[in-house]
Amino acid sequence: MEQQREEQARKLQRLQCAVQNYDWGLPASASRVASLHALNAGASLDPRNPYAELWMGTHDSGPCYLKNNSNANSSNYHSEKNNGPAAPTTLKSWLLQNPCVLGERVLVNWGCDLPFLFKVLSVGKALSIQAHPDKELARALHKRLPDIYKDANHKPEMALALTQFEALCGFVSLEDLKDVVAGVPEVAELIGNRNKDQVLNFNVKHGQEKFKPVLQEAFTRLMSADKDLVAEVVSKVKCRLQSEIQLRELKERELLVLRLEEQYPGDVGVISAFFLNYVRLKPGEALYLGANEPHAYLSGECVECMAASDNVVRAGLTPKLRDVPTLCSMLTYKQGHPEILRGVSVNPYIKKYLPPFDEFEVDSCALPQGASTAFPAVPGPSIFLVMAGQGTIEADSLREEIAEGDVFFVAADCEILLTAETQLQIFRAGVSSKFLYRQ
């Protein structure tokens, strides 16, 4: 019987998750991350702190811990059973002790660890102009600067909007960039006449691949410009737009530039916003980003999933360390508007968001009061987040009451049944089904 209880306990584990108080987060009173953290950890909130990210995974920079509930019966959980409560057990250490819960295919490919990191983000002001390295570059950066680049993994990611969500992502089309260079004198001043002429004189018929070196040279010149010159030019664009707003209606991107200047006065990221696509997601829409693609989240709240990494190469809109040469050399310089995912219906209650990465996918479940739905068993691990509402979660013979802020680890090959007592909103992160069922 004890062995059976231990076997059941491995299938469903309630988690206490980490919170990050980055300065771009929202204040406690307005942050979904803050409210989820308070419920998940039973923690009091500091109204002086911004609440930016809730982390659900095994990354060392923000580990999850197993909570002492009815499922935590295993001797692995209480190593000091006879001498008072043990130190909290991290999900990562528990997975090392119970690798079978990950499934054979995940174990073979990624070892005794979750290949994905699941988050909630509350964005109050712009994050840095940044990109995430591919695996080869991540290994090199981690070896060279381990205190800055904390792991050797790549970091493809996806943001699924909970509210209206704004981002900069990827480079604008050649046609749009020609308009920028011709119509924004401050951009032309920072990239120089030679780069300006190269952009304006490039024949679109020659194709995007041949334009990439031109774009790289212009963008690198911009991002590498002298700090004092940048501050002067940013001041010029601010003054010009504030003057012109009296005479005409400013374009959306111009209004964005003024907003960014308020947040980061004199920063080169203000000008670089002219180079990048301005994307606005509605709730339920998702944006995914591969390695070496420039981006910056601007405002709103989202669920985010990524490969299990915290590697970020920054070059603007940040007080943190910037690595401009690395960022400008690593980018793909692909142009055009990014693909927006709207989810594929699995059943009347569940939508699946499946980006082109092996490490993760995300399901969104909206369950009306009194309804039930099942998540079929899959040969890989999952993390379930209760975003709103109350109900129950069942895994085989295990049944748990659930409410907003609850987070669960679910083992491979375990079917989950959800029942809503009130309207229930659930998000699930798991390994990509394309990877799990690939022949």
Active site residues: 314
Give Cβ neighbours of residue 179 (< 8 Å, ≥ 6 apart). none
Residue 76 has what DSSP assignment?
T
Known binding-site residues equal 130, 132, 157, 295
Q: Which residue type does 295 have?
A: H
Give Cβ neighbours of residue 42 (< 8 Å, ≥ 6 apart). none
Instruction: Confirm if 88 and 60 have CB atoms less than 8 A apart.
Output: no
3-class DSSP state for residue 116? Answer: strand
- How many CB atoms are located within 10 Å of the residue 280 CB? 15
Overall residue count recorded for the chain in this entry:
439
Instruction: Confirm if 422 and 391 have CB atoms less than 8 A apart.
Output: yes
- Segments in 307-421 forming alpha helices (H): 324-330
3-class DSSP state for residue 27? Answer: strand
Instruction: Confirm if 24 and 121 have CB atoms less than 8 A apart.
Output: no
Known binding-site residues for Zn(2+) equal 130, 132, 157, 295
Residue 286 has what DSSP assignment?
E
- Segments in 10-98 forming alpha helices (H): 32-41, 91-97
**Which one, of 324, 311, 271, 276, lies nearest residue 297 by Cα?**
276
What whole-number distance in Å separates Cα of residue 21 and Cα of residue 294? Answer: 23
Could you identify the residue written with the tokens 């591919």? Answer: 134
- How many CB atoms are located within 10 Å of the residue 3 CB? 7
Count Cβ atoms within 10 A of the Cβ of residue 416 and give its class: 0-12 exposed, 13-18 middle, 19 or more buried. buried
Q: State CA 246 to chain mean position distance.
A: 38
